[in-house]
Amino acid sequence: MERSQIEALATQFIKGKIDFPEQVNPRVQEIVLRIVTDLMQTINDLKITADEYWSGVEFIGDLGKEAGLLSPGLGFDHFMDLMIEEDLKAAGLDGGTVRTIEGPLYVAGAPEEKGFARLDDGTDLDNGTVLFMQGTVYGEDGQPLPNAKVEVWHANSLGNYSFFDESQSHFNLRRSIITDENGNYAFRSIVPLGYSVPPEGMTQKVLGALGRHGHRPAHIHFFASADGHRKLTTQINIDGDEYLWDDFAFASREGLVPEVTMVEDADKLKEKALDKPYASIDFDFHLVKDIDQAVQGSEVERRRAQG
């Protein structure tokens, strides 16, 4: 079938019969028409059979909540970040800490602390290494930002997240930290473990057919925000992880792999009331200014879990 025939058919299907003109959303109509046209073209070009087509329909029906895993696994989350960065550069907002994907495991409503917070509930101490992470939130002018908000969440030593893993306590490994008068934040937690997509799940079926694994390196998620500045979505990866630069979600980026220092000095251990070495990470956040011009990506509207 010729492209012109496909375009005519798609237009007929999407725009040719409108029962309720007052309900038409032009933007939705534009997007659906393009998707339908390109999908029909793909079916035509690749000679996709009816069996293959209906296998795809059934897959979508079974995918359910795993859509939040398949999206980064196929690179769409990272692609959207790159699109946002292009818009930022075009608006003259280049710079600041590198953005990377949010992922599907944020939970709103984490307890708020001033300056310092302990994230873990203490149940993972036998399995995990204690982690202290600290840094400063800087503004557009390079000055520290008091009362900025650093939201942090990460997995436990088994690669599982509270709320989604019901065996963990409420808001375990999740906090919102308000920076002190010097713009500093700090927290105590445990070094997280990376996770994998469900081995028998729908996402792994696609990745397996593409010859790919579904593993993520150990990482820690952040939102960083302050008045007059754009909200930052980012994460750091734990240096030395096997999958550090082989993340199935394509979220590893230069500038987001800080050094991990193991602290063994007896005086420093005593200071932290610890009897074994702990990990320490220094990481600063650099925010860019907010502007009146609408630039996407500061506050992304998406469905998120509520704690």
Tokens encoding 37: 């046209």
Residues 293 and 209 in one domain: yes
For residue 295, the model assigns a pLDDT of 82
Q: Is the pLDDT of residue 298 over 90?
A: no
Does 28 fall in a domain? Answer: yes
Residues 30 and 101 in one domain: no
Residues 25 and 79 in one domain: no
Here the CATH number for the domain that contains residue 80 is: 2.60.130.10
Residues 95 and 243 in one domain: yes
Q: How confident is the model at residue 17 (pLDDT cuts 50, 70, 90)?
A: confident
Residues 17 and 121 in one domain: no
Residues 282 and 216 in one domain: yes
Identify the three-state secondary structure at position 85.
helix
Q: Is the pLDDT of residue 296 over 90?
A: no
Sheet holding 149-154, edge to edge: 112-114, 174-178, 149-154, 219-225, 232-237
Residues 39 and 79 in one domain: no
Residues 99 and 214 in one domain: yes
pLDDT one-digit tens code per residue, 206-259? 999 999 999 999 999 999 999 999 999 999 999 999 999 999 999 999 999 999
Give me the helix-helix angle, 3-15 and 26-46, nearest 10°: 140
Tokens encoding 86: 């292009």
Tokens encoding 85: 């960065």
Residues 32 and 80 in one domain: no
Residues 27 and 130 in one domain: no
Identify the three-state secondary structure at position 78.
helix
Residues spanned by the domain of 127: 70-306
Residues 166 and 240 in one domain: yes
Does 232 fall in a domain? Answer: yes
CA dihedral sign of residues 167, 108, 299, 258: negative
